[in-house]
């Protein structure tokens, strides 16, 4: 596949996610290799009842050429967050708050200050005349090298800078291991476009200048052993001009601007929730811009119903109270792909009592699911929204055959919602490529298919296990 085509597909995934936030590169999926829900692994019956551990909604309008990108064993890249702002604006405080709230993920903090160029003996003697806030004061090439290794899930040795001696500790390094989230913090991390391109989210911490000056005086006198007069002299000669020339102009690259820094708990909470959403996404989200991973404990059937059109309806409760609820479209039916799909019928009936359910039988042995054997569908199915049910989406051939039948019976493609418990990436791509308007709702995307075209790790023969007919 041409590299340009891949870039175009990735660019197509760009979009707004909540007010004030835009992402220029969605290069993350979930933080660790995909795992299947333990409940589903233990028992297909339990899985049919629960359908939990994160639902995926897909209507595949992605470029068909992106199919080759679905490598189920491909390494997952970490989520990189850049945090910039003026000196003593509260960048470290914001980073610490994010790290504390993401305690269930591996998060590392990389400080741009660690990449200061060490001063020579002559420069150290005149350190008061050296501009530490200029882009040239940093070894950006080494920063790029270290960040590149971390993005490739490789550990790195980050230098340690001695602010009193103005040089690096030659024999000491800070080892940083591969992580789910990498936070790069510093006053000029947005200045170099190469560094910005590494980031999935860019945050600018905006704090009043007088507050930043007071914090800088306290920090440099207490932590770095300097006197107040030298701090004020350095601030007037270098810090403030550098802020105006380099830091403040880079604010335009930020996806999120946090006023008041660490005191703005609402902004930090929103950012953390967005990061959690991104960490729950599967690799397919990088390929198909309309594949959404939603961490949820709701059932698959309920998620499917959430895609149906509805109208507001006023309900009088048994106590005489008035409640404003919603009413789903009246024309609705289920269709199960025999026989595994029948295991999901009880869950559908529990949500929609009296719903009509049709049947489709497709021969799957030796012909990759291409032979339609039997079907019995409601006479007016062309007027209905259809919930198509099959617990395992493997190659996608059987699903495509069933969807094709429904369309030939007059059901509009965008009225079909395919419900399943476990999917293979190959199956999702197969269905999305042929039927881009069909929505897929699943609770887990597994590694892929084996030589026998079975989902791995998967559930084995789902129908036999559910109905107790396995050996």
Token pair belonging to 294: 């939603």
Token pair belonging to 137: 């004061």
Q: Which residues contact 345 (CB under 8 A, 6 or more apart)?
A: 334, 336, 357, 389
Task: Kindly give the parts of the chain with pLDDT less than 50.
Answer: 1-75, 297, 367, 369
Residues 332 and 82 sit within 8 Å (Cβ to Cβ): no
What values do phi and psi take at 342, rounded to 5?
Answer: -65, -20
d(CA 380, CA 95): 58
In angstroms, the Cα distances linking 116 to 111, 216, 386 are: 10, 18, 61
pLDDT of residue 140: 94
pLDDT of residue 49: 42
- Give the per-residue SS3 of the chain: CCHHHHHHHHHHCCCEEECCEECCCCCCCCCCCCCCCHHHHHCHHHHHHHCCCCEEEEECCCCHHHHHHCCCCCCCCCEEEEEEECCCCCHHHHHHHHHHHCCCCCEEEEEHHHHECCCCHHHHHCHHHCCCCCHHHECHHHHHHHHHHHHCCCCEEEEEEECCCCEEEEEEEEEECCCCEEEEECCCCCCCHHHHCCCCEEEEEECCHHHHHHHHHHHHHHCCCCCHHHHHHHHHHHHHHHHHHHHHHHHHHCCEEEECHHHCHHHHHHHHHHHHHHHCCCCHHHHCCCEEEECCCCCHHHHHHCCCCEEEEEEECCCCCEEEEEEECCCEEEEEEECHHHHHHHHHHHHCCCCEEEEEEEECCCCCCCEEEEEECCCCHHHCEEEEECCEECCCHHHHHHHHHHHHCCCCHHHEEEECCEECHHHHHHHHHHCCCCEEEECEECCEECCCCCEECCCCCHHHHHHCCCC
Residues 386 and 335 sit within 8 Å (Cβ to Cβ): yes
| Domain extent listing, the chain | 30-74+287-467, 79-279
When the pLDDT of each residue in the chain is averaged and rounded to a whole number, the result is: 78
Fold of 79-279: Rossmann fold (3.40.50)
Q: Which residues contact 349 (CB under 8 A, 6 or more apart)?
A: 355, 357
d(CA 202, CA 256): 6
Most distant CA pair in the chain, distance = 91
Q: What angle do CA 203, 31, 301 make, to 5 degrees?
A: 105
Tell me which residue of 469, 468, 446 sits closest to 457, measured CA to CA: 446
Peptide bond into 242 cis (omega under 30): no
pLDDT of residue 115: 94
Tell me which residue of 399, 390, 462, 388 sits closest to 430, measured CA to CA: 399
Residues 186 and 198 sit within 8 Å (Cβ to Cβ): no
Residues 417 and 439 sit within 8 Å (Cβ to Cβ): yes
d(CA 158, CA 147): 10
Q: What is the pLDDT of residues 206-229, one digit of tens each?
A: 999 999 999 989 988 888 778 888
Beta bridge partners of 202: 82
Q: Say what the pTM is.
A: 0.52
d(CA 346, CA 48): 9
Residues 185 and 125 sit within 8 Å (Cβ to Cβ): no
Domain 30-74+287-467 belongs in CATH node 3.40.50.2020: yes
CB-count burial class (<10 Å; 0-12, 13-18, 19+) for 409: middle
């Amino acid at each position: 596949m041409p590299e340009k085509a891949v870039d175009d597909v990735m660019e197509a995934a760009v979009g707004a996610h909540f007010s004030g936030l835009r992402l220029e590169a969605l290069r993350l999926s979930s933080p660790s290799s995909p795992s299947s829900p333990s409940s589903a692994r233990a028992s297909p019956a339990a899985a049919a009842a629960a359908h939990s551990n994160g639902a995926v909604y897909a209507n595949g309008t992605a470029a068909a050429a992106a199919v080759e990108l679905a490598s189920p064993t491909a390494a997952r890249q970490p989520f990189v967050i850049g945090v910039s702002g003026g000196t003593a604006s509260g960048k470290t405080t914001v980073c610490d708050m994010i790290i504390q709230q993401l305690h269930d993920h591996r998060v590392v903090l990389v400080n741009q200050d660690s990449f200061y160029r060490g001063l020579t003996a002559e420069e150290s003697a005149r350190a008061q005349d050296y501009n530490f806030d200029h882009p040239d004061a940093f070894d950006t090439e080494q920063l790029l090298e270290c960040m590149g290794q971390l993005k490739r899930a490789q550990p790195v040795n980050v230098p340690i800078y001695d602010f009193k001696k103005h040089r690096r500790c030659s024999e000491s390094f800070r080892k940083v291991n591969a992580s789910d989230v990498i936070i790069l913090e510093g006053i000029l991390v947005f200045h170099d476009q190469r560094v910005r391109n590494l980031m999935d989210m860019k945050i600018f911490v905006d704090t009043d200048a007088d507050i930043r000056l007071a914090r800088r005086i306290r920090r440099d006198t207490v932590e770095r052993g300097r006197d107040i007069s030298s701090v004020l002299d350095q601030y007037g000669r270098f810090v403030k001009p550098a802020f105006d020339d380099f830091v403040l102009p880079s604010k335009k690259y930020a996806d999120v601007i946090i006023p008041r820094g660490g005191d703005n708990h609402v902004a930090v909470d929103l950012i953390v929730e967005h990061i959690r959403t991104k960490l729950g996404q599967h690799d397919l989200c990088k390929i198909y811009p309309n594949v959404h991973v939603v961490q949820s404990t709701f059932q698959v059937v309920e998620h499917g119903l959430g895609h149906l059109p509805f109208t507001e309806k006023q309900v009088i409760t048994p106590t005489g109270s008035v409640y404003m609820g919603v009413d789903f479209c009246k024309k609705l039916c289920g269709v199960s792909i025999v026989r595994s799909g029948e295991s999901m019928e009880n869950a559908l009936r529990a949500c929609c009592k009296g719903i009509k359910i049709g049947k489709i039988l497709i021969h799957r042995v030796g012909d990759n699911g291409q032979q339609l054997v039997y079907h019995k569908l409601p006479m007016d199915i062309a007027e209905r929204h259809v919930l198509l049910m099959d617990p395992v989406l493997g190659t996608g051939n059987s699903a495509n055959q069933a969807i094709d039948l429904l369309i030939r019976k007059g059901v509009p493609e965008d009225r079909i919602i395919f419900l399943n418990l476990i999917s293979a990436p190959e199956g999702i791509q197969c269905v999305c490529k042929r039927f881009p308007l069909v929505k897929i709702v699943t609770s887990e995307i597994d590694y892929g298919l084996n030589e026998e075209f079975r989902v791995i790790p998967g559930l084995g023969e789902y129908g036999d296990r559910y109905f107790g007919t396995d050996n």
